[in-house]
Structure 1
Amino acid sequence: MRQIKFRMWDFKNKEMYDGDSLAFEEYAPISQMLSQDGIMQYTGLLDRIGNELYEGDIVQNGVNIYEIVWTEHFARYGAKKIKSDSVLSLGCTFPLWQYVVEDTKQCIFEVIGNQFENPELINS
């Protein structure tokens, strides 16, 4: 079973907060808390050098760059290709587990940023 962890982007202060420092309203429904803008959930996987992978992270493998996204189609996290040497596969989402090395929790990707701190990686 994977560990459930979160982190949150603070739009006002332009900082990322670790989930342990987050405080939610005591009686707010969990669905309301987790639907707030800036909440990023841990995928349970690591990149190739041991960094935790979160939803919204931008990762790279060679010339290809992907955004980690939740996909209802796979009912899992996926890697959405946002930059590639091949135009044909841009925008395609692939199951993240396809990129996990053997039975380890490490992927072949390396985290190079995230959608909040590095929007230029997505928009360029």
Structure 2
Amino acid sequence: MHQGAKTPQTQEWEDSLRGKLEVKHQIRTDTINDLENFSQDLQHISLVVESIQNNYQALLTENSRLKSTLLELVDDCYCWKGNRCEKCQKILKSLAPETTRKKFNTAQEYEEILKQLRKLG
């Protein structure tokens, strides 16, 4: 038999090998594309999270400013601690609703959880 001639079995093996190599190449190309898309998604998510952080910080700052303004109104009023006028009582109640104790306990629980997490990390 001549060296240049291929048997059907050799041709099938070569065709199979080439097919497998092509599939592997396509999988690797698809993987690269998927990783690039994933990277872009992560960058977008990072920008969204940064925007949320900025908005939340602005909200907290505004909330703090408004609370300070309300407390200044109470401080500048003619009434005094223990004998607040109706307007100051309303202001103080709006700053400390009836659920204050529950919120305080929730805050304490949150702080405890954070302490435990910090010990783990």
TM-score between the two structures when normalised by the length of structure 1: 0.15
Name the one with the larger strand percent: 1
Q: As a proportion of its length, which structure holds more helix?
A: 2
Higher RCO (Cα < 8 Å, 6 or more apart): 1
TM-score normalised by L of structure 2: 0.15
